[in-house]
Structure 1
Amino acid sequence: MRAPESLGGRVRAAVLAELPLLTGCLTDPDPFVRQAAIWLACVGTRPADPAVVRTLADLYESDPSALTRADALTAVACSIPATVRDREATAVGDHDREVRLAAALSGLDRAEPPYPAALVAVVAADGAAVPGSHRFTARPRPSRIPVRPATARTSS
């Protein structure tokens, strides 16, 4: 008799089954919705849908929200790590500290000691200044859902 799936496994399977319906949220005007959709796109272990990866790459390139850009970069790195190195190398010098930190953490995730000094320097400089900077673990598992501030609603 097969062992029952864990609750986490069942939740991941349910999210993956609905992911085609949820991908439209990646382009929602609300940055909190875009971030939540990015995190959902990282759930599970199946190969990433190429259309989703393209949308994530577009979000990294052009989203007005630094946190959304950072999460999109992390999601692309989790989905297809072999193709993200050049993007990360550029992102380490980005004008948004959230994006720099996401790029450094993604690069460090694949690195082995001794860690690249440039990536360690970004984490040392920007890590403490970015709230929630450790949202993704070594594997694409979001650790929290973005919570919209009760008094503010932005469209950036």
Structure 2
Amino acid sequence: MTSFSTLIATAGLAMAAFVPMAQAQNSADEANNKAIVQRSFDAWAAGTGSPYDLLAEDAIWTIAGNSLASKTYPSRAAFIGEVIQPFVARMSVGLKPVIREIHADGSTVIVHFDAAGTAKDGKPYINTYAWFLDLSGGKIVKATAFYDSVAFNDLWTRVQPE
């Protein structure tokens, strides 16, 4: 007959073997997600793509804070149509991002970056962002964005999209 303490010891050994495997898989997922986002920012900086290419069709994007665009957008189409297209229409030279820091924690990639471009009125647009991107299957399914709403609101009200 197996004693209770033997069962506990066996279960403990099984868990001890499982934990490193789970941690290794989590680390691999984090590294993969971080690399996916890094590549999308590299493409953005090169003018050949953007992180928005990673958005799932049903991605939920929240702009936190009190900017004129702050709210939750329930889909890729809503976010692109209500924010990104009108933003791009206000610019003569698109934003170029420069990552300050990028971190991964589980399925979430956190990107702290600066971006600068030129508005259609010739004035520079410069802002600092922090994006929290939740990925699943290599796609962004949920995002929360923080930025300087004063700079954003100035551009949004000063320059009309064409």
Normalising by structure 1, report the TM-score: 0.27
Q: Where is the strand percentage greater, Structure 1 or Structure 2?
A: 2
Normalising by structure 2, report the TM-score: 0.27
Greater Cα radius of gyration, structure 1 or 2:
2
Q: Where is the helix percentage greater, Structure 1 or Structure 2?
A: 1
